Amino acid sequence: MKGYEIAKELDVDVSTASRDIQYFISQLHNYLNSLAKETLPFMWNVHVYISTTTIIET
């Protein structure tokens, strides 16, 4: 859905919808960055643990 379509649907000015969309995109990027920073190290540690355990058991 385009910004002007959202603005029309919400009955707001296109600039308002555009500004809000940019804000939401910025928040999404921040969320994804923090998720990656928190999750990837954990996943790597699990991988290393499983790999090490598998090597030791064989």
3-state secondary structure 8-54: HHHCCCHHHHHHHHHHHHHHHHHHHHHHHHHHHHHHHHHHHHHHHHH
The predicted structure's pLDDT at residue 57: 63
Task: Return the pLDDT at 58.
Answer: 59
Report how many domains make up the chain. 1
Write out pLDDT tens, residues 7-58: 999 999 999 999 999 999 999 999 999 988 888 888 888 888 888 877 666 5
Does residue 4 register a pLDDT over 80? Answer: yes
Single-letter residue type at 39: T
Burial of residue 3, with CB atoms counted within 10 A of its CB: 0-12 exposed, 13-18 middle, 19 or more buried: middle
Q: What range does the domain containing 39 cover?
A: 3-57
User: What pLDDT score does 49 carry?
Assistant: 86
